[in-house]
Amino acid sequence: MNLSWSHAVIYVRDQDVMLDFYINVLGFAVTDRGPMGENAPDIVFISQDPTEHHQLAMVEVRKDQDPSNSVNHFAFRIERFDELKILHARLQDLPAIRINPLSHGNTLSLYFNDPEGNGIEVFWDTPWHVAQPQGKTWDPALAEAEALAWVEAEFASEPSFEPREAYYARRAQEV
Ligand SMILES: [Fe+2]
């Protein structure tokens, strides 16, 4: 198993101030944005890496009195589907860990908490890109081919659905 770093999602107090800093000072670009659900605040995705949909994302929900930890979750890419299944089985043996299997269309993800409650996502890339944010619960009992067929059935009707290579080739032109 080999986990590589991908992105972080942070709670912020003022999205405008934060975006101004990340875009104009640090050189990020907004790659996607939208509400997390009905009546939910926007999540804004930013990246300056043409091979990453987002390196950071932010949601404006943080209040002044909140503790200093503003992290929603840390995410790690996993290279093989069978490794995701192994991880899922391992997590299921730990009663204190809650697992939320979620597919964003472009991923098959496992969301879970660490022992102190910090959010973690480990995801495997599907062969497709689709606009974010969105997520549907998937069944980690599925085999790889079944899981991919399920993703295609759930997301292929969306206008933004396309092969991953096409999306990232276009992004490489833009950056
Ligand atoms: Fe994520």
pLDDT at 144 over 90: yes
Question: In whole angstroms, how far apart are CA 114 and each of 72, 96, 120, 141?
Answer: 12, 9, 7, 22
* Residues above pLDDT 90, as percent of the chain: 65
Give the number of domains in the chain. 1
For the stretch 31-89, pLDDT in tens is 999 998 888 999 999 999 999 999 999 999 888 777 667 788 888 899 999 999 999 99
Q: For a pLDDT cut of 70, what percent of the chain falls above it?
A: 98
Cβ < 5 A residues, ion ligand 1? 75, 121
Q: How far is the CA of 152 from the centre of ligand 1 (A)?
A: 20
CATH code, domain with 30? 3.10.180.10
70 C-alpha vs ligand 1 centroid, how far in Å? 15
Q: Domain range for residue 131?
A: 4-174
Q: Give the per-residue pLDDT at 67.
A: 67
Q: How far is the CA of 174 from the centre of ligand 1 (A)?
A: 23
pLDDT category, 168, cuts 50, 70, 90? very high
How many angstroms does the Cα of residue 110 sit away from the middle of ligand 1? 10
**Phi and psi dihedrals of 46, rounded to 5?**
-130, 150
- Return the axis-axis angle of helices 144-155 and 81-92, rounded to nearest 10°: 100
Ligand 1 center–CA 171 separation, angstroms: 19
pLDDT tens per residue across span 85-137: 999 998 998 887 899 999 999 999 999 988 777 888 999 999 999 999 999 99
State how far the Cα of 135 lies from the Cα of 56, in Å rounded to an integer.
18
93 phi/psi in degrees, rounded to 5: -80, -5
